[in-house]
A and B are shown apart, each in its own frame.
Chain A
Amino acid sequence: MQYKSQAVAKPYFIAAIGLFVGQILFGLIMGLQYVMGDFLFPAIPFNIARMVHTNLLIVWLLFGFMGAAYYLIPEETENELYSPKLAIITFWIFLIAGALTIVGYLLVPYARLAEFTGNNILATMGREFLEQPLVTKIGIVIVALSFLFNICMTLLKGRKTSISLVLVLGLLGLAVFFLFSFYNPSNLVLDKYYWWWVVHLWVEGVWELILGAILAFVLIKVTGVDREVIEKWLYVIVTMTLITGIIGTGHHYYWIGTPEYWQWWGSVFSALEPIPFFMMTIFAFNMVNRRRREHPNKAAVLWALGTGVLAFLGAGVWGFLHTLAPVNYYTHGTQMTASHGHLAFYGAYVCVVITMISYAMPILRGRAANSNTAQVVEMWSFWLMSVSIVFITLFLTAAGIVQVWLQRYSDTPMAFMAVQDKAAIFYWMREGAGVIFLIGLVTYIASFFIKGETKAAA
């Protein structure tokens, strides 16, 4: 690696992968509980497993983003990280706080956890994805501040590239919008309205800036295409992201008590939200086709292309499928949403973090790329995980259609639980695909331990 301090990224990447494993294991537990209601009940009720599944996802992606930033920023700014020591301290604080929170979820009844952790002082818990105790939320803010301080100080004393500016803007947005998680009015409509300022403005807003910046960085490295070209693309993509995505928040404001006009704003703008994702696909393929060098790390190139394609499919196409208000009227809150969520998170954020890990980890371990054998195994893991998540998405979509048809669209609507029984076959198939996903993840981890002849560091 070019700068010594880039090494702090390594523990972040390792922690990210470790938590990813936890996320998938809990996903498999939940998948089984969908069809075998007694499984692990009452030891791990579904609501607890789901909280662990989604919170682990968020936390490991944050670890991935932070690791990516610590790796990328020194190289982009052309100087050492402001304080590697602070980065390591922050790492341990975040990891320990995260682990304690998960242990708390699993061992303490949620209501008791709320009582012990200050929820009576400021009630913020018990809202989807924002279930963390108040102390954890404050911890996240402190970690984010220390991280941003470190990154911004590094940026200030070095070269300011467009990639680093877009990345920092995304990270700043991430921190700022998280502050809305502390606002929880008793008015349910307002609560939901601003809840989306965290959730939507993260994943369909500022996180896409982070995604774009990381992808652009890796593409410069592996293709050798001129920075001017790549950064111009990056700007155009993130422009489209925010132009469509900010007002696109409106697609969450159709049925929660907000005015009817959101059906128009939301439908029109969110129908445009696939555009930046489509551009990202074109961007990735275009740059790889115009490459000026043959980078030895083929696996990283595969992950980068995978990000482009799967983000477009999951976030773009599967989002569009149910985003128009007249469609969403029937699909809102069904397995359609779950299907979109799975492919979008995988395609956009899981893939981009692994792209970065795939590119950076060999260098952090002192070589330009892993051995051919290790790369082949890693590429197998890409295909196993990607194909199985696509099937998970298809099966959940099928379950969603069953739900819409029998429970929503029918003249003689059936009750929720009766409909769930009718969709059971799809839940079983989803669980099967989930097992393949886990095998893919184990394969991915195995690829780190495969030796073989490696190329010297670039």
Chain B
Amino acid sequence: MGTTFTKSMARNIFYGGSVFFFLLFIALTVDTTKALPKRDNSQNITAEVERGKKVWETNNCIGCHTLLGEGAYFAPELGNVYKRRGGDEGGAEFIKEWIKMQPLNIPGRRKMPQFHLTDQELDDLVAFLKYASEINTEKWPPNIEG
């Protein structure tokens, strides 16, 4: 870099540029927040869903699974698991039975722990997963397998 471009110029661009782009980010955040209610399925966040999110969190499900593609990559995507396992036609039953069956007795297969969830907790968790499956994710994942 030549001598005409001085350190103090570089510093000023740093402060100016950073502030500008952070403000732009804030503006986009405000716009996103306004746009969300049409997309985020928040009208369906019931007390059940709220409790279900807590069941999801306090059992560290994200430590193996992804949810809308974020998390660990050890076990299947669960953002759309409600739909994958039958949706309103049996999705809830499948998920609950599956969780109760764990760990599966298949030697060598990756193991899911037994979390000893109550029936109430299972229902809450399913409500949360159903809510998550109805968020507008721009058609992601590409297919039902997640």
Query: Residues of A at under 8 Å CB distance from B?
Result: 30, 33-34, 36-38, 41-42, 45-48, 50-51, 110-111, 114-115, 119, 123, 125-128, 131, 162, 184, 186-190, 192-193, 228-229, 231-233, 235-236, 238-239, 242-243, 246-247, 249-250, 252-260, 262-263, 265, 329-330, 332-335, 337-338, 407-409, 413-417, 420
Contacts and interface: CB of A to CB of B under 8 A. Distances in A.
B13 A131 contact: no
B63 A37 contact: no
Contact of B53 (A186, A250, A337): A186
Chain A to chain B: the 7 pairs with minimum beta-carbon distance, closest first: A47-B63, A126-B57, A333-B69, A235-B10, A255-B140, A416-B76, A37-B110
B47 to A, nearest CB: 10
Contacts of A329: 140, 142
Contacts of A414: 145
Nearest to A335: B73
B132 A188 contact: yes
Nearest to B63: A47
A46 B145 contact: no
Contact of A338 (B7, B45, B73, B76): B73
Nearest to A239: B14
Q: Contact residue range for chain B? A: 35 or more
B108 A337 contact: no
Contacts of B6: 232
A303 to B, nearest CB: 25
B91 interface: no
A179 to B, nearest CB: 16
Contacts of A236: 1, 10, 13-14
Interface string B17-51: 11001101100110111011001111001000110
12 contacts: A126-B57, A127-B62, A128-B62, A131-B63, A189-B40, A192-B70, A228-B7, A236-B10, A243-B21, A257-B137, A259-B36, A330-B142
B141 A408 contact: yes
Interface string B94-138: 000000000100111111011100000000000000011001111
A416 B70 CA distance: 15
B87 to A, nearest CB: 17
Contacts of A50: 63-64, 72, 74
Contact of B56 (A38, A126, A249, A407): A126
Nearest to A259: B35
A253 to B, nearest CB: 8
Contacts of B63: 45-48, 50-51, 128, 131
Contact of A255 (B22, B29, B54, B68): B68
Contacts of A128: 62-63, 70-72
B71 A46 contact: no
Given A33-B110, A188-B132, A114 B138 contact: no
B60 A110 contact: yes
Contacts of B110: 33-34, 37, 46, 417, 420
Contacts of A34: 74, 110
Of the candidates A115, A119, A258, the one having the most CB atoms from chain B within 10 angstroms of its own CB is A258
A335 B69 CA distance: 11
A249 B145 CA distance: 27
B57 A232 contact: no
Contacts of A37: 106, 108-111
B58 A125 contact: yes
A110 B59 contact: yes
B142 A257 contact: no
B73 A333 contact: yes
B60 A334 contact: no
Given A110-B59, A126-B57, A46 B7 contact: no
A232 B142 contact: no
B32 A36 contact: no
Given A192-B68, A232-B6, 12 more contacts: A188-B132, A189-B36, A189-B135, A232-B1, A232-B7, A238-B14, A255-B141, A256-B68, A258-B39, A329-B140, A408-B145, A415-B76
A255 B17 CA distance: 28
B146 A416 contact: yes
Contact of B21 (A119, A242, A253, A256): A242
Contacts of A111: 58-59, 115
